């Protein structure tokens, strides 16, 4: 998602949120707090709801394109997955968060799956991986939440991460304005699942800035499993059809999510969250009345 597209998206999300009036009332204080954090290198720790659960999130801007600013201003209204998607996970489930950034979703997933569950957070940028570890530790999630400092791809080894103006645009795929590069460890999702002894994965979040197809190429075992995961991916411009082409042989179909439930997606554009559902979860969610 471009910077302008992100600003427009989060601005509309702000006013579309069910608690918009409360959000507006708090916005001036959050703007002042954010300015102070940027100026003095301060941090802020605040609670975020994920369905019936809660966790604490420490946001620490360090002068880089740090990401997670949307969550600072919007809290659980940040994206559809965070606001409405807790029903994808149950206590004891397993989830993988690829492109974990500061650990926002890793903490949300760990809160939902509980101590009997498993969460793998995968993040290639060292400074963001450090923050994600700290946020998992802040909530006492170290026992069932694991941080893997790497980038998901179609092969194990070393890869080149292209850094854009903002951390959220870092990708194994070349990014606009990405003059800086960083060598990182690359892993496949299938190898990660085997190395960590994971059983069925209920939810896989992919926020890897255009490298989704390569990540899925390294996940053939997960995708062909008897219980394949629901996949939540950020879709930028032309990436949607390519992701769908990789998932179609496994029976996946694309959906969007709002407060009314899941809606079949007829045409790809730019979406912060697109939910790709395989047959078994799709049938279960239809029975539960989640699909409109």
Whether 254 maps to a domain, the answer reads yes
Does residue 172 form part of some domain? Answer: yes
Q: What pLDDT sits at residue 59?
A: 85
Q: Is residue 39 part of a domain?
A: no
Number of domains in the chain: 1
Q: What is the pLDDT of residue 31?
A: 79
Q: Specify if 253 maps to a domain.
A: yes
Helix/strand/coil (H/E/C) assignment for every residue in 246-290 = HHHHHCCEEEEEECCEEEECCCCCCEEEEEEECHHHHHHHHHCCC
**What is the strand order of the sheet 151-152 is part of?**
151-152, 180-187, 157-163
Q: Is the alpha carbon torsion for 104, 106, 111, 113 positive or negative?
A: positive
Examine residue 47 and state whether it is found in any structural domain, yes or no: no
Q: What is the pLDDT of residue 283?
A: 96
CATH number, domain containing residue 251: 3.40.50.150
Domain membership of residue 158 (yes or no) is yes
pTM of the model: 0.88
- Residue 91 Cα distances to 76, 102, 120, 204, 210, angstroms: 20, 23, 15, 16, 31
**Containing domain of residue 260, as a range?**
79-287
Residues 283, 290: contact at Cβ < 8 Å? no
Give the per-residue pLDDT at 44. Answer: 84
Q: What is the DSSP letter of 156?
A: S
- Asked whether residue 4 is assigned to any structural domain, the reply reads no
Contacts of residue 179, Cβ cutoff 8 Å, sequence gap at least 6: none
- Under-70 pLDDT residues of the chain: 1-25, 62-67, 165-169, 174-179, 237
């Amino acid at each position: 998602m471009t910077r302008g597209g992100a600003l427009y998206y989060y601005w509309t999300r702000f006013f579309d949120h069910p608690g918009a009036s409360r959000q507006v009332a708090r916005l001036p204080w959050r703007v002042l707090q954010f300015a102070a954090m940027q100026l003095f290198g301060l941090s802020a720790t605040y609670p975020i709801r994920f369905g019936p659960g809660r966790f604490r999130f420490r946001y620490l801007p360090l002068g880089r394109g740090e990401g997670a600013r949307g969550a600072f201003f919007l809290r659980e209204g940040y994206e559809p997955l965070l606001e409405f998607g807790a029903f994808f996970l149950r206590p004891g489930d397993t989830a993988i968060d690829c492109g974990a950034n500061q650990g926002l979703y890793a903490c949300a997933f760990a809160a939902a799956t509980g101590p009997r569950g498993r969460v793998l957070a995968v993040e290639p940028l060292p400074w963001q991986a450090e923050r994600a570890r700290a946020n998992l530790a802040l909530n006492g999630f170290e026992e069932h939440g694991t941080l893997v400092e790497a980038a998901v791809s179609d092969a194990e080894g070393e890869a080149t991460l292209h850094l854009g103006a903002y951390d959220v645009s870092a990708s194994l795929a070349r990014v606009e304005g990405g003059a800086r590069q960083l060598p990182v460890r690359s892993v496949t999702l299938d190898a990660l699942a085997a190395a960590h002894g994971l059983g069925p994965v209920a939810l896989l979040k992919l926020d890897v800035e255009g490298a989704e197809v390569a990540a899925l190429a390294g996940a053939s075992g997960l995708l062909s499993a008897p219980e394949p995961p629901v996949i939540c991916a950020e879709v930028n411009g032309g990436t949607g059809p390519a992701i769908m082409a990789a998932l179609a042989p496994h029976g996946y179909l694309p959906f969007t999510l709002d407060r009314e439930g899941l809606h079949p997606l007829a045409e790809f554009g730019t979406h912060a969250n697109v939910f790709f559902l395989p047959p078994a979860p799709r049938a279960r969610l239809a029975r539960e009345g989640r699909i409109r």
